[in-house]
Chains A and B, each alone.
Chain A
Amino acid sequence: MNIFKTKSFYKFSRNPLSVFGLIIVVIVLLLAIFAPYITPFPEHVGPFTDFANKSKPPDSTYIFGTDKIGRDIFTRCIYGYRISLILGVVVLSIAVPIGVTMGLCAGYIGKKTELILMRITDIFLAIPALVLALSIIGLLDRPNLVYTMIAVSMAWWPWYTRLIYNLTRSIKTEGYITASEVMGASKFHIMFWEILPNCLPSLLTKITLDLGFVILVGSSLSFLGLGAQPPTPDLGTMVAKGASMLPDTWWFSLFPGFAILIVVLGFNLVGDGLKDMFDVDV
């Protein structure tokens, strides 16, 4: 099936906001991938100082200005996208398989499995994601990007369990599931080859929407000093460092903050478009 020829894709392409979101996401991805070739000062990413050019406001050489040790903020924002996108992809790569497997098992296998898995999920859901991530990082050693990824993943999987559980409960009553059972298909086959493909539209939509939120939570943790550590260019950390200098050196915080806003907005608009395209509720 060619998705570009479907009615659903036509619906997506006719929604200007979704197309705008898609353009933003594609541009951000390209900027992150080709950062070493696009950015004017790639050496400013590491432990670099240039006190002669410190705290310079935006001008033609430094379009976003420089920070208090003379590093180009534009370069660091573009590299910051790399960290944010890696965080989003890694977190969802851990959270989605755990959540999906738990949801399929809880929804399909039987009452005892459902009871155990859904109560565990409810416990995790009862604690707000940011608070849970903060607690997990607190339990781990000193903060770094890997711990942030683990902590956010642990806070994120229950939402996927809840989504897939609800979908599985409704799909398992369909005739083709009974037909597979009667035929002798294994539980594994029914869950992953019969039920899961029918959950994909909702799953893809949620993943797209969540990429933005995960980046936001990751940036919030960095803002609190619990994410990537200097000199790694992380957008949340850059906002935090610049916040104490407001309003005098406004460009320290404004441009990294704007960069976060753009990427989150892009993913949200694409997610909303996918929601309409697949006609799903997540």
Chain B
Amino acid sequence: MIKINNISKKFFIKNNEVQALNKINLIIEEKDCFAVVGESGSGKTTLANIILGVYQQDKGDLWFNEEQLHKTRNLQQRKLIQYVQQNPMSTLNPKKTIFSTISLPLRIHKIVKKNELEERVKQLLSYVGMEPEFMVRYPDTLSGGQKQRVAIARALAAEPKVLILDEPTSALDVIVQSKVLNLLLKIKMEFNLTYIFITHDLSVVRNIANKVVVMKKGIIEEFGETKKVFLNPQSIYTKELINAIPTVLDKEDMLKPK
């Protein structure tokens, strides 16, 4: 479905060259829940931004099915890949009502007629477990978890094929985290979505992803099926990451590679 071919990206920060991605090759299949893990600065978000068309790669190419994607995309290509961001505080425009926020992709892509907008927004809110009354509210009256739900509804409104989730639960407390994760799993099944899940939380990856790529300083350290990577990690860095997962029970500790 998504083919990432030899992609490299450099940034210049205060005249210093930083190699954010170095010759990345990946294939993401349809309906995958594909996790991208690594420490801060490993290139996870840069990779997501290239897939989303926010950045243009310096080298390599990106394919969606048989179509090559560039930074400049047409509306149809934009519609295919949507994303949910890490920070619920900045993900919604504070001056727009929830209705205006969720209906934006519907209006841009002309998904429904003008007189059907309200009904569709109500439907999207119900998918993410929110009441229609929220439509008239502004983001500053919502909790972090509710904001993330609205962001998910907005992403779904475009009827995408792929959803990029950039640490969508890292700013939420543990109970809300699990509710949002369950919601994401439900939505994935319901809409046959492909997920690219960017996170540094390996315990989340173990529970929801079927494939995982481990990144470090812009290169791929390890890539494979989640179960295999967790049970038998090949790279020392992956072993260190897995061993760093906090555990409560001995049973959980025994799952870690020796």
User: Which residues of A come within 8 Å of B, CB atoms?
Assistant: 1, 174-176, 178-185, 189, 194, 197-198, 200
Tally inter-chain residue pairs, CB-CB below 8 A. Answer: 54
Residue in A175, A183, A189 whose CB lies within 8 Å of B87: A175
Closest to A184 in B: B78
Cβ A194 vs Cβ B54 within 8 A:
no
Cβ A183 vs Cβ B82 within 8 A:
yes
Residue in B73, B95, B105, B151 whose CB lies within 8 Å of A198: B95
Closest to A201 in B: B95
Closest to A200 in B: B95
Min CB distance A21 to B, Å, is 26
User: Which residues of B come within 8 Å of A, CB atoms?
Assistant: 52-54, 73, 75, 78-79, 81-83, 85, 87, 90-96, 101, 104-105, 108-109, 138, 151, 154, 158
Min CB distance A178 to B, Å, is 6
Instruction: Note all chain A residues with C-beta closer than 8 A to B52.
Output: 182
Cβ A179 vs Cβ B75 within 8 A:
no
Cβ B105 vs Cβ A176 within 8 A:
no
Using A175-B87, A185-B108, A189-B108 as known contacts, list a sample of 19 further A-B pairs with CB atoms less than 8 Å apart, ordered by residue number in A. Answer: A1-B138, A174-B90, A175-B85, A175-B91, A176-B91, A176-B92, A176-B101, A179-B83, A179-B151, A179-B154, A182-B53, A182-B54, A182-B78, A182-B81, A183-B105, A183-B108, A194-B93, A198-B93, A200-B95
Bound Cα distance A181, B55 (Å): 11
Bound Cα distance A259, B53 (Å): 58
Bound Cα distance A243, B109 (Å): 66
Cβ B108 vs Cβ A184 within 8 A:
yes
Instruction: Note all chain B residues with C-beta closer than 8 A to A184.
Output: 73, 75, 78-79, 105, 108-109
Residue in A1, A180, A198 whose CB lies within 8 Å of B104: A180
Residue in A175, A181, A183, A197 whose CB lies within 8 Å of B96: A197
